[in-house]
Structure 1
């Protein structure tokens, strides 16, 4: 009988701690086939078991590892690395390092999570300085993976290609796209547009030495259109794009709410349109797409939003399970190996015949 997939959870992370984490486990099990999945919860055992009792979860599903130590949400990454050993966050990641767990999920301090994950798991590629954060972006065609959205402020051509490799494997594993199309975010679609790093990455990807379904350059409006399945950019640009989109969505939602409550006729129209409005709200609900993997590590770590609901945390767990059960790590490793081979200088040609004096 195959061993169960064990997911390690930082039960104390986030704004609400065990109530959302244990509630997220219950949500995952209620909406997905939980057969062959178990959970390792790190944190205050009394608080965790109280939530398990409330959610009717037993030791057959959840193993609890007690610790009193917690990394605060406002703690600096350097402090977390020095003082975080033995904390719920640290122990959740360490379970992946030792091979006990297949993946870890935390809604805790993002900087601390990234620093401790890198310290314990190390990077899968020498050129990557920090893990890349991927966002699942709702589009007219489903979801597009966008990375990096904040971890690496500046990225050279090699790192952009590494993001493309990791994003393509993520899109296949989590969103089930057989051969995802990949695009580089740029200020135009022409070959001469953009800075040197983007144009260099474009040239390498276009030559086809790495087996990706490369589309070419895409622009900002292509993200929501779903022009490609994976959009690659540096963390500076990606984070600005993400925050701009989130702000615009809130602005439009506010305008819509104001318009639909402006008078009796508007309210009647809103009542008639309610089913359609609820479907639209579900498409853009942050909890529906919660869970951003830290790509580039020698292990699977998923960051949940700190303010996620149990349903949102359940979605983060689903991403962790899907990645753990996929060939994501093997696929990324193989393509990173091909990239490394492309960077090797060609061997010098041997001199044939006699040397001319």
Structure 2
């Protein structure tokens, strides 16, 4: 299996991208194509001491940044690393793509170059959230600020396929984010989506309120990208605040430092549970080939985890399973016009 890595995207690129790729080759047995400036990448690769033949470099001289307008940048910067990487994926030169670059550029490259699965109205970002009962998938994490009921329905179907086949869940529980648990709550879009999800080929458990998400009340959390991104950023901020305050509490005086020694094991487990680098990145669900968007500040561990995530997605054949589930979705059954 060959995974393409956009090695120039990210706050600290290309160090973490190269180091994470070397680890992936050594531990996962995948082949890696690093896309970016040849001389810089070769120097970084030499610094790791890697001498094998499972990592190759594809030269790309440009970069799409957060300051670029994504769609225009794809046309103007044809030699940008994410553009070259996406075209490679489209042309069958790799099985999956990992990038920690500018979100807009990655989304645009996925949608306009890699392309959507037939029948998918809109692809969605699917980050993994840590909960009391294990990981949960958030769909959409920020790709689509405004959604129709059909979009939310498809998010639930695609998220269920991903959760069951990649995250190891059985009959994943799908829930719709709302302002109340009752069926009649919400706006026109969420009420319509509720009715559609009830008929969908997924284990739909109803509405879920924000306070229940972190309890692990559902495995797939469905919402539009505006709400999803707020949930995602709030979760990240809350986790960072909790960890910081716990550390401050334990370092307060000699007695608390002694307590900290006894709590080192449980605290490390909690920290690992809340660490985004364990999950790698957010898959762009609904594309013909897997594209994973990692956090801009990803370190080598996060890049490795994202590559592992791509490997699992490809091995499980999730794209085909999404196609099968969408084919079961007769439009007339949901009152959707073609």
Q: CA deviation at 1:164?
A: 0.5
Q: CA deviation at 1:340?
A: 4.3
Q: CA deviation at 1:199?
A: 1.5
Per the alignment, in what secondary structure is the counterpart of residue 75 of structure 1? Answer: coil
Is 1:190 aligned with 2:186? no
Which residue among 160, 168, 182 is the counterpart of 1:168? 160
Instruction: Call closer, same or farther: CA 1:13–1:195 in 2, change over 3 Å.
Output: same
In 2, the alpha carbon distance for the partners of 1:33 and 1:255 equals: 36
* Structure 2 partner of 1:28: 24
Q: CA deviation at 1:267?
A: 1.5
Which residue among 270, 286, 295 is the counterpart of 1:296? 286
CA contact (8 A) 1:125 1:336 kept: no
In 2, the alpha carbon distance for the partners of 1:345 and 1:142 equals: 35
Larger Rg: 1
Farther off after superposition, 69-78 or 195-204? 69-78
Q: CA deviation at 1:240?
A: 1.1
What's the CA shift string for 1:186-233, capped at 9, x where partnerless? Answer: 1111111111221112112223xx321111111112211111111101
CA RMSD of aligned residues (A): 1.9
* Structure 2 partner of 1:336: 326
Give unpaired runs (5+ residues) of structure 2. Answer: none
Is 1:159 aligned with 2:151? yes
Q: CA deviation at 1:20?
A: 0.8
CA contact (8 A) 1:127 1:158 kept: no
* Structure 2 partner of 1:84: 77
Runs of 4 or more off by more than 3 Å in structure 1? 340-346
Query: What aligned pairs does 1:222-237 form with structure 2 within 5 A after superposition?
Result: 222-237=212-227
In 2, the alpha carbon distance for the partners of 1:135 and 1:344 equals: 27
Instruction: Call closer, same or farther: CA 1:220–1:330 in 2, change over 3 Å.
Output: same
Per the alignment, in what secondary structure is the counterpart of residue 329 of structure 2? Answer: helix
* Structure 2 partner of 1:326: 316
In 2, the alpha carbon distance for the partners of 1:316 and 1:296 equals: 17
* Structure 1 partner of 2:115: 122
Give unpaired runs (5+ residues) of structure 1. Answer: 347-357
Using structure 2 for the length normalisation, give the TM-score. 0.93
CA contact (8 A) 1:133 1:150 kept: yes
Which residue among 277, 296, 302 is the counterpart of 1:312? 302
Which residue among 43, 63, 72 is the counterpart of 1:70? 63
Q: CA deviation at 1:253?
A: 2.2
In 2, the alpha carbon distance for the partners of 1:138 and 1:344 equals: 32
In 2, the alpha carbon distance for the partners of 1:101 and 1:254 equals: 40
Which residue among 183, 207, 213 is the counterpart of 1:217? 207
Q: CA deviation at 1:343?
A: 5.2
CA contact (8 A) 2:117 2:286 kept: yes
Q: CA deviation at 1:58?
A: 3.6
